[in-house]
């Protein structure tokens, strides 16, 4: 389910609901990375750079950034 900017919320057009623990991609769509083979890439220092998976049509990637060797941020799953 997606909404255009400025879409009014109403009984006929409610906000999307989410199941507890459900992962959403950058488009707000539910995803299940554990159902697919995941590919890992690493930085030259051996830290995890990204995880990606594909369903054969779309590819999703999650990126990791570091500060002084510690994980500073983990991106949302981004569909490309």
List Cα–Cα distances, 5 to 2, 57, 75, 78, in angstroms.
10, 26, 23, 20
Note the pLDDT tens digit of each residue in 13-23. Answer: 665 555 666 78
Would you list the domain boundaries of the chain? 38-79
pTM over cut 0.75: no
pLDDT attached to residue 22: 78
- Per-residue three-class SS string for the chain: CCCCCCCCCCCCCCCCCCCCCCEEECCCCEECHHHCCCEEEECCCCCEEEEEEECCCCEEEEEEEEECCEEEEECCEEEC
Work out the pLDDT band at 8, boundaries 50, 70, 90: low
What distance in Å separates the CA atoms of residue 51 and residue 29, rounded to the nearest whole number? 18
Q: Examine the pLDDT at 9 and tell me if it is beyond 70.
A: no
> 10-14, 21-25, 56-60: which has the highest mean pLDDT?
56-60
Return the residue matching tokens 């992962």: 23
């Amino acid at each position: 389910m997606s909404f255009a900017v400025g879409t009014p919320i109403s009984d006929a057009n409610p906000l999307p609901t989410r199941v507890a623990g459900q992962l959403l991609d950058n488009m707000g769509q539910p995803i299940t990375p554990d159902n697919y083979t995941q590919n890992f890439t690493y930085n030259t220092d051996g830290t995890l750079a990204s995880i990606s998976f594909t369903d054969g049509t779309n590819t999703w990637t999650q990126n990791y950034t570091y500060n002084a060797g510690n994980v500073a941020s983990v991106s949302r799953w981004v569909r490309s």
